[in-house]
Amino acid sequence: MTVSDPTLEAARSIVDQSLDAMRAAIDGASAEALNRRPAGDDSNPIAVLAVHALSSTRWWLSTALGQPVPERDRPSEFLTTVASADELLGLFDPIAADCRALLSTDVAFDPGAIRDDPRDGDRVTAAWALIHAVEHLREHVGHVELTRQLLG
């Protein structure tokens, strides 16, 4: 299905690039690199960043597009550890596919539509939820790429 809305086209392009970049940073990394906290206990390893970023992106895209918000256990995202890159990609790929599917819609996007913030029930616009999904994902892609560079 082709997205005809220019806002959704832009979001889809950025999300696609972001997901590809994050996947590339994960692929081939050792379990040690994926689970290592680069700046001590107060920092997040690649595995945590990837699971958290994708879960959040799917959540906010669902909100922006008026779709059912998937169940999410945010605290457990920050406890993620993996035995291999393949294990992490096994978590990553289905959620990335969900994110892409959400943005591959022919349903009209109404940026001014009011949505319930899934965190606390406050009200946000669909535009805010979409922009937040994209910017939050990009932020964590940068974290993952930098962490991978630091760890070699």
Average pLDDT for consecutive 10-residue bins of the chain (152 residues)? 78 98 97 96 96 98 96 96 98 98 90 92 95 98 96 83
Please tell me the predicted confidence (pLDDT) of residue 4. 75
Which H or E element spans position 114?
strand 114-116
Domains delineated in the chain: 6-151 (1.20.120.450)
Please tell me the predicted confidence (pLDDT) of residue 31. 98
Closest CA to 134 of 47, 8, 31: 8
Give DSSP secondary structure letters for 17-30. Answer: HHHHHHHHHHTT--
Please tell me the predicted confidence (pLDDT) of residue 2. 52
Q: Which residue type occupies 134?
A: V
With H, G, I as helix, E, B as strand and everything else as coil, classify residue 121: coil
The reported pTM is 0.94
Please tell me the predicted confidence (pLDDT) of residue 55. 98
